[in-house]
């Protein structure tokens, strides 16, 4: 395929949306065609997933993971692959790595997650924005009960550990320190992408 498939991943509040937008703008300035997209998607299956995440309805963890896979299959077929075929740089905010890192803390088997994602296109380059759970939570929201916060931090610590453990799951994965300034993080990402494009 003519395009480039880039994934940004990490904890909430790591700066994924901010950096995805800056990367999009920079690539456009360089004359590239860019598709900025995210998972879960804004489509119908993505909506179901979001309603589970917002606790509007409950479902089995495995059912949730199958929804993520269904959303991904649809997303790939309808948006990502057609764009790559037309030479677009696709920036996807969260992808399979999120499934693994968040899924396993809900006691879903990693190998099962790998198998239900095995047919999907692999990203060519993955950038993990790494921030401690405290920073993640501070950036996402500031007012919560301390107990809830403590539970949340414990959970996010596990997710962050998973990002480090699974960072070699896909080729060309880079970990960027997301606690640096927005400008510094953007500069590092540009550097990584520039090197990658020049080698391609």
**Separation CA 144–CA 146 (nearest Å):** 6
Rg (CA), the chain: 17
- The footprint of Mg ion on residues 62-101 (CB under 5 A) is none
Is 188 one of the binding residues for ligand ADP (CB under 6 A)?
no
**Separation CA 7–CA 144 (nearest Å):** 31
Nearer to Mg ion among residue 8 and residue 48 (C-beta): 8
Nearest Cα residue to 39 out of 3, 80, 71, 77? 71
Three-point CA angle 136, 140, 142, nearest 5°: 105
Task: Select the residue interacting with ligand ADP from 4, 6, 7, 16 (CB under 6 A).
Answer: 16
Local structure of 192: helix, strand or coil = helix
Nearer to ligand ADP among residue 109 and residue 141 (C-beta): 141
Q: Is residue 164 within a helix (H) or strand (E), and if so which, with residue range?
A: helix 146-165
Task: Select the residue interacting with ligand ADP from 33, 62, 122, 139 (CB under 6 A).
Answer: 139
Stretch that binds ligand ADP, among 16-24, 69-77, 151-159, 192-200 (CB under 6 A): 16-24
User: Smallest distance from the beta carbon of 150 to ligand ADP, in angstroms?
Assistant: 21
Is 175 one of the binding residues for ligand ADP (CB under 6 A)?
no
Binding site for ligand ADP (CB under 6 A): 12-18, 139, 178, 180-182, 185
């Amino acid at each position: 395929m003519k395009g480039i498939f880039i994934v940004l991943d990490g904890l909430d509040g790591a700066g994924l949306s901010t950096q995805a937008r800056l990367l999009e703008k920079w690539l456009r300035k360089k004359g590239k065609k860019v598709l900025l997209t995210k998972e879960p998607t804004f489509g119908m299956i993505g909506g179901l997933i979001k309603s589970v995440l917002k606790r509007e309805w409950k479902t089995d963890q495995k059912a949730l993971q199958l929804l993520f896979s269904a959303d991904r299959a649809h997303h790939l077929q309808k948006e990502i692959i057609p764009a790559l075929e037309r030479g677009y740089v696709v920036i996807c905010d969260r992808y399979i790595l999120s499934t693994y890192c968040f899924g396993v803390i809900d006691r879903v088997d990693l190998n099962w997650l790998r198998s239900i994602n095995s047919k999907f296109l692999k990203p060519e380059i993955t950038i993990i924005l790494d921030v401690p759970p405290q920073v993640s939570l501070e950036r996402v929201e500031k007012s919560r009960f301390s107990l809830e916060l403590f539970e949340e931090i414990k959970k996010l610590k596990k997710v962050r550990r998973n990002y480090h453990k699974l960072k070699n799951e896909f080729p060309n994965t880079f970990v960027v320190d997301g606690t640096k300034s927005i400008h510094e993080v953007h500069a590092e990402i540009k550097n990584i992408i520039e090197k990658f494009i020049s080698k391609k």
